[in-house]
Chains A and B, each alone.
Chain A
Amino acid sequence: MNKTKIKRSLPDRIFNVTNLILLGAIGLIAVLPYVNMLAVSLSSSGPVDSGQVVFLPIELTFENYKTVFMDKGILKSIGISAFMTVVGTAFSLLLTVMFAYPLSREEFRLRKLCNVMILIVFIFNAPIIPWYLTMRAYGLYDNL
């Protein structure tokens, strides 16, 4: 090795190791419940009910997934979610971009008014009940 290694002091190295261990533990805590859920979803109900399944599936089975993907309701939910994400994102992007451009132009005389209008509802949102009643009045409730 050509490079001379910078010598690190002992407390520095202790800190490094502790830090790595701590962060590793945090990372594991974030992921392990997922692994547990995955193992439970792939096990048959017997071992799950008796609490034997931890991180590895016992009596491996895909029955649960089969049930999920045969369920018409869930397929419909996935469809609705996909539709909302794709159409919703496209639409909101279009609206935002189209509104943002005039707001950046000096020639747009309503700039101030529009900025204030946006800021107000940024801070003061309508309570959920009037919001719900309005959406229902528009016919946007339960119609997809």
Chain B
Amino acid sequence: MGSGKTSSAAGRKKEGFWQSVCRHKGLYLMALPGFVWFVLFKYVPLAGSVIAFTDYDIYKGIGGSTFVGLKHFAHFFKFPEFGQIFRNTAILGTYDVLIVFPIPILLAILMNEVRGAKYKKAVQTAVYVPHFLSWVIIGGIFTTLLSPNTGIINNMRQMFGLDSVYYMASEKHIRGILVIASIWKEMGWSSIVYLAAIAGIDPALYEAAEIDGANRFKRMLHITLPTILPIIMTMLLLKIGNFMEIGFEKTNSFMNSMNQERIDVFDTFVYRYGLQNLQYSYATAVGLFKSVVGITLLFLSNVLSKKTTQQSII
């Protein structure tokens, strides 16, 4: 195997694999627990996805289940609810990218323009607060605030002589409510990344621009934005990679039988069919389909971003 020469760097290169392993036992021992964790908790479940192609029987196990090919996928595509779930996911995902995503950037830029350090700190702390609430609680808060009889919003409407609206049960409003809730919850927290990026900008750039006669707005547009563009692109790509990931907890906290048609997404569908109706194979097929669409989107946007802004994450 090896030549036995271990003193020189060249000798080490020729060293056989097992010899090298023996010499650096420590490294391999250190890596072992992590490696085993990845196999057990990531790759075994991933391999378990084959049940999407079988009629999984919980008593017979994966080996004993019959192979059915793409039956579950075909069944899903023909399913009348498929179009609705796909549409809901796509619309909510698009809102997430177009509306929820840019707001933290704006917020960070505006916060950067505040001169009083104490005021800035206070606002920052205040906007971080909702991030620490779970979606279930936020669902509760919104239900209370939007309640048709006792909610603040409807009380205000009544004060102006308007009819009260049962927002949580209104198909017309529920997607907007979800978007507002997402903004409210994550706006401050997501702005941290951009604030950090802005803090790293060389002040000399601003001074130079000021001397050249650039006003506030122009400095934002020509210095702040271009400098943080790489971070914006990275965050955008990550967001698009999660396009299909609307989030079970979030949607489920706002869903009821009245608005289900508008916000039923893949995550809630998989939960209903897989864990509640115990159609394991079918739900796995739907989950796999979702993952594949998500990955395709990620790669597409990565290529697009590489072409347009020279930024990429893969």
Report B16-36 CB contacts with A as 1/0, cut-off 8 Å.
010011011001101101110
Binds A, one of B38-46, B85-93, B94-102, B250-258: B38-46
Alpha-carbon distance between A16 and B115 when the two chains are bound, in angstroms: 9
Alpha-carbon distance between A106 and B23 when the two chains are bound, in angstroms: 13
Taking CB atoms, residues of chain B closer than 8 Å to A87 are none
In this assembly, does B216 line the interface, its C-beta being within 8 Å of a C-beta of chain A?
yes
- Number of residues from A at the complex interface, CB < 8 A: 55
In this assembly, does A79 line the interface, its C-beta being within 8 Å of a C-beta of chain B?
no
**CB-nearest residue of chain A to B12:** A107
User: Which B residues from 122 to 146 make CB contacts under 8 A with A?
Assistant: 122-123, 126-130, 141, 144-145
Q: Is the CB of B38 within 8 A of A129?
A: no
In this assembly, does A105 line the interface, its C-beta being within 8 Å of a C-beta of chain B?
yes
Instruction: How many A-B residue pairs have C-beta atoms within 8 angstroms? Tell me.
Output: 165
The A interface, classified by DSSP as helix, strand, loop or mixed, is helix
Q: Is the CB of A30 within 8 A of B126?
A: yes
Taking CB atoms, residues of chain B closer than 8 Å to A96 are 34
Alpha-carbon distance between A140 and B33 when the two chains are bound, in angstroms: 18
> How many of chain B's residues touch chain A, expressed as a range?
35 or more
**CB-nearest residue of chain A to B154:** A51
Q: Is the CB of A49 within 8 A of B150?
A: yes
Which of these, A37, A105, A117, contacts B141 with CB under 8 Å? A37
CB distance from A6 to the nearest CB of B (A): 10
Taking CB atoms, residues of chain B closer than 8 Å to A107 are 20, 23-24, 27
Which of these, B45, B152, B295, contacts A131 with CB under 8 Å? B45
Q: Is the CB of B270 within 8 A of A126?
A: no
In this assembly, does A124 line the interface, its C-beta being within 8 Å of a C-beta of chain B?
yes
In this assembly, does A142 line the interface, its C-beta being within 8 Å of a C-beta of chain B?
no
Taking CB atoms, residues of chain B closer than 8 Å to A109 are 17, 20-21
**CB-nearest residue of chain A to B42:** A121
Q: Is the CB of A114 within 8 A of B28?
A: no
In this assembly, does A95 line the interface, its C-beta being within 8 Å of a C-beta of chain B?
yes
Q: Is the CB of B31 within 8 A of A98?
A: yes
Which of these, B31, B48, B145, B187, contacts A33 with CB under 8 Å? B145
**CB-nearest residue of chain A to B128:** A30
Report B149-176 CB contacts with A as 1/0, cut-off 8 Å.
1111001000000000000000000000
Q: Is the CB of B33 within 8 A of A99?
A: yes
Instruction: List 8 A-B pairs, Cβ < 8 Å.
Output: A19-B110, A36-B152, A51-B149, A51-B151, A99-B34, A114-B35, A121-B38, A124-B295
